[in-house]
Amino acid sequence: MISTNKIKQIKLLHQKKYRQQNKQFVVEGYKIVSDVVNSEYNIDEIYVTSAFKETIDFDTILISAKEMQRISGLKTPNNILAVVNIPEPKQKFDSSNKLILCLDSIQDPGNFGTIIRTANWFGINTIVCSPDTVELYNQKVLQSTMGAFVETQIFYTNLEEFLSNYKGNIYGTFLEGENIYKQNLRQEACIIMGNEGKGINEKISKYVTHKLYIPSAGKVKAESLNVSTATAVILSEFRR
């Protein structure tokens, strides 16, 4: 059973204002919840329905399918939901990470989550974001990461200040950039991905030391790639 007051509290966590106020967020689904259980995140409570048949290394609270539907943020609720405490933001990241990803004003939650998942696949565990990049604990972001966020250091900071103090190579994608497939890509570098509609901000672009371009194969109608797709292409090429 779950109280009406608790249902209200959890439902409010689907809004950014209350996530920040209560310092908690929600994750749903066995894969993501189990990843959080096995991470450094501190879990407050885990709710399951009678349809949940897997095992998980945490005490769970049994609720009805109807109650799960009331607290879920998904159109089709899962059989497991966790309320997780938001950790205090880290002030410094692991400087041993040679390849860093910088995100300039990424707005779409699905794009951000996919970028985190892609970066994790290619062994990049440090992502530096501009303050106006979509919030990490947005549920659409978390669901899109497929659990990869637990292995990723994500920082929100002033990118101009960060890049002005960065000592390595700084790459960014531009229409007037050099063909990425013909470049000698350095592994000690920061890769900047820009906003979905506007690209890299002019104030940020001045710090770019190497401008890259992903060429299309022949004549195409699309002017550019989706930012998460472009990130996958770029990281694949860096790792190649």
**How does pLDDT run across 42-98, given as a tens digit for each residue?**
999 999 999 999 999 999 999 999 999 999 999 999 999 999 999 988 766 665 668
Q: What is the pLDDT of residue 95?
A: 54
Instruction: Parse the chain into domains and list their residue ranges.
Output: 4-85, 99-239
- CA-CA distance, 79 to 55, in Å (whole number)? 12
Going by C-alpha positions, the residue among 149, 150, 132, 129 that lies closest to residue 141 is 149
- 151-209 pLDDT tens trace: 999 999 999 999 999 989 999 999 888 999 999 998 889 999 999 989 999 999 999 99
In the CATH hierarchy, which top-level class contains the domain 4-85?
A: alpha beta
Strand pairing class (126-129; 153-156):
parallel
pLDDT at 94: 63
pLDDT in tens, 9-55: 999 999 999 999 999 999 999 999 999 999 999 999 999 999 999 99
- In this chain, the answer to whether the domains covering 4-85 and 99-239 adopt an identical fold is no
CATH topology of domain 99-239: Alpha/beta knot (3.40.1280)
Q: Give tens-digit pLDDT for 102-126.
A: 999 999 999 999 999 999 999 999 9
Q: Could you give the CA distance from residue 165 to residue 178 in angstroms, rounded to a whole number?
A: 25
